[in-house]
Structure 1
Amino acid sequence: MKTQLTLTLLTLTSTALAAQAVPAKTSPIKLSAATYAVTQVTENGKTTERLSDAAGKGALPGSLLQMSQKVQNVSTRNVQGLRLNMRVDPATTYQTSNCDAARTNTLFSIDRGKTFAAKPTKTVTVTENGKAVQRVVPASPSDYTNVRWELPELGAGQTVNCNLRVRVK
């Protein structure tokens, strides 16, 4: 019994040391996120938008926020088939989204990220001729719970910015 236990410990120790000796694979993708308050500023008679850092600061109902994610390919090779997901906080309502990558496919979810579609639909019950009937209708952007950007390819050294704007409820 003692021999078997010692052998098991030696095997586990050897396995652990071997695992430590293998260098960790570094990701070719660097992702950074930021949240900004979006305000309208008038200077010299011109109204423009100003983004100010909102990290760690409270936001009042009605405030417009921009949640940004910057994706960088830090490798020397192209990266294929990236999916970037962003959650719409339940205390906010979706307004708009954009991503500056070419050929980006933008999808939306209304079920907390379980399913995505370019134009999600939902089933509603309506009354027709005194009877309850179920109909499939387009979901309203205010129903969106998640946004997904599918980037077919991110070139070596390329940086992409994807943004989601929400209004605080």
Structure 2
Amino acid sequence: MFENLRPITRLLTLLALGVQLGCSNTPYELVSVSGVVTLNGEPLSDATVSFEPNGAGKELVGPGSMGTTDEQGAYELETYKNESGAVVGFHTVRISTFKSEFKDFKNSDDLEIVSKERVPWQYNLNTQLTFEVPTEGTEGANFELTGEAPQLNNRLGRRRK
């Protein structure tokens, strides 16, 4: 295949091919991340845990990840691209139990609250949570939340019956 190329061209071609084969298609490193979330000492079920990678100066950090807690408050992260895990590095973390849906997309006032927020604002909207995902991954991304549920304005929508 390379016999008709000059030696220097052959060498450069082989080096370029080797670099291409050695590089991953994923420009970020994903590792397994799981943990447990509690609120006031009790497992927090049916909460969405989202990790948003902080680039620290990099242009492409990678996708965010999220998971939903089970009855014991346990969760496992998956990226928004349906890849298992989270990007290695620093993340802003948001935890929320609020869920809503529009019954009619033509009428923006027809928002139905499916699940009320039980998590204090400092852990979701005004999050103070951060987590550093280590290169080896972790099963210890645990969050012990405290505080009272925020009072939502009923004008946000109708509650599901």
- TM-score strictly above 0.5: no
**Larger Cα-atom Rg:** 1
Q: Give me the TM-score of the superposition, normalised by structure 1.
A: 0.26
Higher relative contact order (CA 8 A, sep 6+): 1
